[in-house]
Structure 1
Amino acid sequence: MKEQETIFLTVKDHSVSKETFQLVLNTDLEMLETKPQPSEDALPAYYQSEDYISHTDAKRSLFEKLYHLIKTYALVKKVKLIYSFKTKEKELLDIGAGTGDFLKQAQSMGWSVCGVEPNASAIENAKKKGIDLYSTLEVLPQKKYDVITLWHVLEHLPNLDEQIAKITYLLKPEGVIVIAVPNYNSYDANYYKEFWAAYDVPRHLWHFSKTSINKLFSKHAFRLVDVRPLIFDSFYVSLLSEKYKTGKMNFISAFYVGLRSNVKAMRSKNYSSLIYVLKK
């Protein structure tokens, strides 16, 4: 007899299809799974939106301008983080590279860069900045990397264990993987519930806790060596969540929830998004 699934929450795709999905709890991993999951052929249609900022460089609204302002600050912090690993060489692979801004920043600071991005529009935008991206892992040059980064990308990847195995193969023996993902145990997630923008179904196929990241990667012989917060994510996510919940960008309410989330996380360590540093 098939074990009954535990439905954690029912969530709507607020940005594209308006369809409803369920978040099912995987108790072994402490991870939520989006169900039903679109097929790999169907997934691209759920990204077809002018509001999907990571695939464009649009600065049409105050929200988009704020996003890019914070993004510029965050890029420098991210490159400083990978510099701190003291790798022998500086070969960087960024998976889910968007429009190439992180790679361009890393390149300007001495890294040899390579990126993967499936979205054709994002690839074109990156090319205008002098960053050439590959569309899949399979067409990458036959080489290995000192650092592999996935900034808010792991939650998008189908066939998770298979993808982690591929990424592991591309890493040098002493290499480092850096992963940033939303944290469904954060205060802002619990506050907004089904309106929490970082669920972003069905584009986000998986929803992680600290435990799930540790367990997923330990199966591939990685150890978790550091966990760091992405402080600004609580404000950005709260702004979008307010829009989904009320129909408006309530800046004051969003700022209050984002700030409260960060303050509570000082004790719990459950920030809205977390960066995980993993080594073999």
Structure 2
Amino acid sequence: MENHKTTYLSVKDYLVSGEPFDLIYDPALDFLKTFPQPNPEELPRYYESQNYISHTDEKKGLLSGIYQLVKSWSLKKKTKLIFNLNGEVGSLLDIGSGTGDFLKTAKDKGWKVSGMEPNESAAKLALEKGIHLKTSLEEFEGIQFDVVTLWHVLEHIPNLEETVQKLASLVKPNGSLIIAVPNFKSYDAKHYGKYWAAYDAPRHLWHFSKEAIKSFFSDNFTLQKIEPMIFDSFYVSLLSEKYKTGNEFSLKAFWIGFQSNLKAKRSKEYSSHIYCFKKLK
């Protein structure tokens, strides 16, 4: 492929608007950009759906029930991960905190927690759990943390390069930055194509490969390890089948999710990855 940007795939917004979008491939960075991108002022309307699960604590319905079940397991894994990376409890900033469950779990484990969440309804649910969230990163200017986390958040942020620089300023020297994002090179992404739920245009503005993540953060961080998110392939496949066939439940989705994880044991391309960075001195 020549070194210029081309349309990788044409998709649409299955959740809210039904509008079409293109995913533009950038070979220099090995990642995809959603096009056209809504103006930042317009983005909130694309989140206005009761089916946008990360902004609710909804447990009704099959997909919501599965999401909440997996979330309780993953909260334990996440708190164990940040402790292992830091070596002890310390200060934690979670960006895109949703309804605050991760911060509440970390707080209960002894972490000094802070968070940011621009969605008002999600932040209200967090407040009911005793977690007060800021609305922008600017409110943390001049403050540094032992650990900064973004769980499936980086793909939502409009000003990507500016945000990367802000993240560097928020992490203490030798501190940790943890980023979880979907992987468009996974088997389930290739299988479902335009129906792959983790494209989630236009809420997902960027779609990262391993090389892209490394490139964006190499100036200020060293990558220590990459962890798979093995349950993502099953949940994303269930949602992808719903977009493709209209069925709320599909045994085929579990088979595709299983195959994706099985193939990733060799390819190392899981449905989603957790990237664990250490800040350079």
**What range describes the TM-score normalised by the shorter chain of this pair?**
over 0.9
Q: Take 1:141 and 1:39, find their aligned partners in 2: how far apart are those partners?
A: 24
Q: Deviations over 1:152-201 (max 9, x none)?
A: 00000111010111111111011110000000000000000000000000
Q: Secondary structure at the match of 1:84?
A: helix
What's the CA shift for 1:121?
Answer: 0.2
Q: Take 2:182 and 2:60, find their aligned partners in 1: how far apart are those partners?
A: 25
Q: Deviations over 1:129-169 (max 9, x none)?
A: 00000010112374210000000000001110101111111
Indicate the larger mover: 249-258 or 143-152.
249-258
1:272 aligns with 2:271: yes
Counterpart in the other structure of 2:227: 228
Q: Deviations over 1:193-240 (max 9, x none)?
A: 00000000000000000000001111x321111001000000000000
Number of matched residues? 277
1:255 aligns with 2:247: no
Q: Which amino acid aligns with 2:277?
A: L
Q: Secondary structure at the match of 2:85?
A: coil
- Which aligned segments of 4 or more residues in structure 1 are displaced greater than 6 angstroms? none
Q: Take 1:87 and 1:38, find their aligned partners in 2: how far apart are those partners?
A: 41
Q: Take 2:114 and 2:193, find their aligned partners in 1: how far apart are those partners?
A: 37
Identity of aligned residues (%): 54
Q: Take 2:76 and 2:209, find their aligned partners in 1: how far apart are those partners?
A: 26
Q: Take 2:152 and 2:220, find their aligned partners in 1: how far apart are those partners?
A: 22
Q: How does 1:25-40 map to 2 (within 5 A)?
A: 25-40=25-40
Compared with structure 1, are the counterparts of its residues 166 and 172 closer, same or farther at alpha carbon in structure 2 (3 Å cutoff)? same
Q: Take 2:220 and 2:12, find their aligned partners in 1: how far apart are those partners?
A: 36
1:115 aligns with 2:115: yes
For structure 2, the 5+ residue unaligned runs are none
User: Is the Cα–Cα contact under 8 Å of residues 87 and 175 in structure 1 kept in the other structure?
Assistant: no
User: Is the Cα–Cα contact under 8 Å of residues 87 and 146 in structure 1 kept in the other structure?
Assistant: no
User: Is the Cα–Cα contact under 8 Å of residues 62 and 249 in structure 2 kept in the other structure?
Assistant: no
